[in-house]
Amino acid sequence: MNEIKKELEEKKEDSKESLVGLSLPALEKELSSLPAYRCKQLYEALYVQGVRDFSSLTIFPKDLRVLLEKKYTLRSFKLSDVQSSMDGTQKWLFKMPDGQEIETVHIPEKTRGTLCISSQVGCTLTCKFCHTGTQTLVRNLTAGEILTQIMMAQDFFEDWKQSKNSRYVTNIVFMGMGEPLYNYNSVSEAMKIAIDPKGLGFSNRKITLSTSGVVPFIEKCGQELGVNLAISLHAPTNELRSKIVPLNKKYPLEELIDACHAYPGVHKYRKITFEYVMLKGVNDSPSQARALIKLLEGLPAKINLIPFNSWPGAKYECSSIDAQNKFSNILSKAGIYTFVRRARGDDILAACGQLKSKSERERRARH
């Protein structure tokens, strides 16, 4: 009996609308019967103070809190699972009200903490080395769902501006599941709140959007959001890139590199990051390193070499340390700032390209 009651209550909770993701004007529209100053207070409570349930909204009269509570929620996700890696990386599996799941990863470093967030459940693109790419797109995330990942991480660390000075969540990268520029509207709505000084208050310099190269949205993203740009390059020629990043057939390297040259705000001190996954015998030869230097000539670029992270069923192997070092040295000698990204959290499949919702993994395992 108690089980049934609990299930019904959970269902009722799931059908509530989330206020997270609403901008101030959208909040005023949604709560049009409230005076404007109340909406302002609510906006601040939501995004600056991190109020996560209406009962803590003590500046509101009790009857108003009860009314809001009946219809709305401030945290629509349930935490399905947390996994902690030996290196301190944590992977959270969140369940959304429709039952879909997404993964968010927190990577602690000495003086900062990077949160790797998802923009879609699955991905429509099929990069050959990516685990997420083997899961077809289930759906786009809403702006609220993108923000909820950040806000629940802040809840977890009690890392709200008002409660602590040190910040566990200092940087945000769109390197989780999905292609953010194929969900541009939600990503931009969410990021506008994330960078609003009266919202979550992140600097756009602390946010990096990683794309496999959706050219038409690159410039828009720079103009509207001004976040850092990372391009998943992975190959120096169209022939190879089209094989491993099929989107290259639609937006070939010439167009992609032109879009990078035109990216607003890029200069010597604000470079574009080019991600390059190291695949043994595929893209890791010295001549490919030289071709890469030529391709990026004249661009304020830095290169992030990512040792390939394996996953069950992957057809690639990671380049040897020797090949990685040789490749990296050639680039560095040419004056391009290059770093090899140490895999973080790969013992819990939380490293780049290893994410895939648990339900999807289980579904595949059954077939």
The 3 state secondary structure assigned to the chain is: CHHHHHHHHHHHHHCCEECCCCCHHHHHHHCCCCCHHHHHHHHHHHHHHCCCCHHHCCCCCHHHHHHHHHHEECCCCEEEEEEECCCCCEEEEEECCCCCEEEEEEEECCCCEEEECCCEECCCCCCCCCCHHHCCCCEECCHHHHHHHHHHHHHHCCCCCCCCCCCCCCEEEECCCCCHHHHHHHHHHHHHHHHCCCCCCCCHHHEEEEECCCHHHHHHHHHHCCCEEEEECCCCCHHHHHHHCHHHHCCCHHHHHHHHHCCCCCECCECEEEEEEEECCCCCCHHHHHHHHHHCCCCCEEEEEEECCCCCCCCCCECCHHHHHHHHHHHHHCCCEEEECCCCCHHHCCCCCCCCCHHHHHHHHHC
Kindly state whether residue 135 participates in binding ligand SF4, applying the rule CB under 6 A.
Answer: no
Burial of 158 (0-12, 13-18, 19+ CB in 10 A): exposed
Residue among 212, 304, 310, 324 that touches ligand SF4 (CB under 6 A) = 212
Kindly state whether residue 101 participates in binding ligand SAH, applying the rule CB under 6 A.
Answer: no
Of residues 57 and 355, the one with the C-beta less far from ligand SF4? 355
Residue 39: active-site member: no
Of residues 144 and 176, the one with the C-beta less far from ligand SF4? 176
Binding to ligand SF4 (CB under 6 A) within 147-206 occurs at: 178-179
Read off the tokens for 110: 């000495």
Dist CA 96 CA 118 (whole Å): 13
Q: 101-108 and 90-95: which strand pairing?
A: antiparallel
Binding to ligand SAH (CB under 6 A) within 176-235 occurs at: 179, 210-212, 232
Read off the tokens for 86: 């030996």
Closest distance of CB 5 from ligand SF4, Å: 40
Q: Which residue is at the shortest CB distance from ligand SAH?
A: 353
Residue 352: active-site member: yes
Closest distance of CB 312 from ligand SF4, Å: 16
Q: Which of 103, 179, 275, 360 is catalytic?
A: 103
In the list ligand SAH, ligand SF4, none, the entry touching 275 (Cβ below 5 to 8 angstroms by class) is ligand SAH
Q: Which residue is at the shortest CB distance from ligand SF4?
A: 133
In the list ligand SAH, ligand SF4, none, the entry touching 309 (Cβ below 5 to 8 angstroms by class) is ligand SAH
Whose tokens are 């490749």? That residue is 327
In the list ligand SAH, ligand SF4, none, the entry touching 206 (Cβ below 5 to 8 angstroms by class) is none
In the list ligand SF4, ligand SAH, none, the entry touching 114 (Cβ below 5 to 8 angstroms by class) is none
Binding to ligand SAH (CB under 6 A) within 334-363 occurs at: 352-353
Kindly state whether residue 102 participates in binding ligand SF4, applying the rule CB under 6 A.
Answer: no
Residue among 50, 97, 113, 133 that touches ligand SF4 (CB under 6 A) = 133
Closest distance of CB 247 from ligand SF4, Å: 7
Of residues 45 and 127, the one with the C-beta less far from ligand SAH? 127
Kindly state whether residue 46 participates in binding ligand SAH, applying the rule CB under 6 A.
Answer: no
Residue among 51, 74, 105, 127 that touches ligand SF4 (CB under 6 A) = 127
Binding site for ligand SF4 (CB under 6 A): 123, 125-127, 130, 132-133, 178-179, 212, 232, 353
What positions carry a catalytic annotation?
103, 352
Binding site for ligand SAH (CB under 6 A): 127, 129-131, 174-175, 179, 210-212, 232, 275, 277, 306, 308-309, 352-353
